[in-house]
Amino acid sequence: MSDHFNENQEFGIHQFEWFLPSPPKPVFSIIVSNEKGFCLNSKLCEYIPKQLTVGISSDGKNIGLLEIAEKGYHVPKNGKIKGPELVCSIETRGISLPANYIVEKKGDLWFATLVPTKPVPFTPRKTPKKPRKNGLRAMLPKKDIK
């Protein structure tokens, strides 16, 4: 095998097609929670307008964000939009908080879609229902009787 390789050493760098990894796509997301309200991640804050109006679908699984010239929600640098009515509106639509949304731009609209939460699997108990009673006295520290 090595003899065959040594015979064909007429390789040039121009004979190869070179590849570089593509840059990662930025992930835009919104997390809605009772404590912090609407939290836009830092990548989304870089691109989104600073004055917004927020629309929520009837089932709460989609959120729309549109730029508005005045009297909209202000997006600060930290990305936390203060709006308890928004959080309440998500909750009343049956979405359990905290909720995570993935955002993509569709024309002028920033469209957020709910990421379904994975149900926590039931784990069986590792301890017996009736704890052991025999031998516990031997494990307790002994007291000196005077």
Count Cβ atoms within 10 A of the Cβ of residue 44 and give its class: 0-12 exposed, 13-18 middle, 19 or more buried.
Answer: buried
0.75 exceeded by pTM: no
For residues 111 and 62, is the Cβ–Cβ distance under 8 A? Answer: yes
For residues 73 and 40, is the Cβ–Cβ distance under 8 A? Answer: no
Query: What whole-number distance in Å separates Cα of residue 88 and Cα of residue 68?
Result: 22
For residues 30 and 61, is the Cβ–Cβ distance under 8 A? Answer: no
Q: Which amino acid is at 88?
A: C
Query: Which pair of tokens denotes residue 41?
Result: 């991640």
Task: Give per-residue pLDDT as tens, 5-37.
Answer: 555 556 678 888 888 887 776 689 999 998 888
Q: Would you give the DSSP letter of residue 15?
A: G
Q: What is the pLDDT of residue 103?
A: 93
Indicate whether 50 pLDDT > 80.
yes
Q: Considering the chain, what percentage of its residues have pLDDT values greater than 70?
A: 73
